[in-house]
Amino acid sequence: MKILILGGTIFLGRHIVEDALARGDEVTIFTRGRHHPDLFPNVERLLGDRDGDLRALEGRTWDAVIDTCGYVPRIARASARLLSRSVGHYTFISTVSVYPDLTAERIDEDSPLGTSADPTIEKVDGETYGPLKALCEQAVQEEMPGRVLVPRPGLIVGPHDPSDRFTYWIERVAAGGEALAPGRSGATVQVIDARDLAAWTLRMVHAGKTGAFNTTGPDRPLAFGDILESAKRASRSDARFTWVSASFLDAHAVSPWADMPVWVPEGGDSRGIFAIDCRRAIAAGLSFRPIDETVRDTLEWARTLPIDRDRRAGITRERETELLAAWRADTPASA
């Protein structure tokens, strides 16, 4: 199959390219050339900019396109409109953030999607990200009705993750010692290894499947503490976990997701983000590798990164030490 990938050099896109090549697909990637220019030297690379310079795509045909980097409806529509005449199938990678009511539990694909009071807004931030992705879905489907696959992943994890969210915990546990952990050990979370998402997406593309699918996991309850214990086993560290309450973290201005990645308060406004109904995708063949494998491979990859790099998520060790001292002062019996 001839596949065009919009993106293809960062995280999920990278894994999609690797999986497609392993399947024997003929792959073309379209990028701005800013990230990993030496990656995939034997893959055709078209240079351009989705915001106004799609000339490299003109006059070409592919069996399918996978859009890994659409965030603004105007730009997503332009790509879909141009490619509607030259591809048979379009995959738009979306997100569970399209669902505005994350207080609900068991959110399925028919749950209401987010809207924007001003659909011309193009600034992508924490408030606009979900509604803009929902509008991107709509734009692509309008340009290619009946030919669009829309995976809606939750938290994507694994090697080559640039967000540092999952990686923060793997590295922190590997460093050993007393580690601050948010909430409670048994709180359930949902994550999906980028390689599992990539493999499923390509199987769906090859089968010509369309429609929206929630794609996070795993297919059985996963506790936050399970991830930390897995990281401890993988790194053979002496880490010990001090679980602190959501109220304490809130009182000390420690934010979920940014300061404490892969965690939201169980009673908070975003609790539903870890209660997404993925039965439709699982019935369509979505499968999940063991969390121990994801943790191990993430640790091996993280060890190749500079130790002193700037991290995008998590707290510093100094801040953690301060918080642990404050926690012990507030709860003497836990000392």
**pLDDT, tens digit, for every residue of 264-317?**
999 888 889 999 999 999 999 999 999 999 999 999 999 999 989 999 999 999
Tokens standing for residue 132: 């803009």
- Separation in Å, CA 323 to CA 183, 246, 247, 317: 14, 13, 13, 10
CATH code of 2-153, in short, is: 3.40.50.720
Local confidence band at 209 (pLDDT 50, 70, 90 cut-offs): very high
Element (H, E) at 37: none
Query: What is the domain partition of the chain in residue ranges?
Result: 2-153, 165-189+219-275+290-334
Return the pLDDT at 333: 59
Task: Report pLDDT digits (tens) over 6-57.
Answer: 999 999 999 999 999 999 999 999 999 998 889 999 999 999 999 999 999 9
H helix runs in the chain, sequence order: 11-23, 73-83, 129-143, 165-175, 194-207, 224-235, 246-251, 279-283, 291-302, 317-330
What is the mean predicted confidence (pLDDT) over 207-227? 97
Q: Are 230 and 174 in contact (CB under 8 A)?
A: no
60-102 per-position pLDDT tens digit: 999 999 999 999 999 999 999 999 999 999 999 999 999 999 9
Could you report the per-residue pLDDT of 93-104, keeping only the tens digit for each? 999 999 999 988
Task: State the pLDDT at residue 254.
Answer: 98
- Domain 165-189+219-275+290-334 maps to which CATH number in 3.30.70, 2.60.120, 3.30.1150, 3.90.25? 3.90.25
pLDDT at 193 over 80: yes
pTM of the model: 0.96
- The pLDDT value recorded for residue 268 is 87
Please state whether beta strands 188-189 and 222-223 pair in parallel, antiparallel, or not at all (unpaired): antiparallel
* pLDDT reported for residue 310: 93
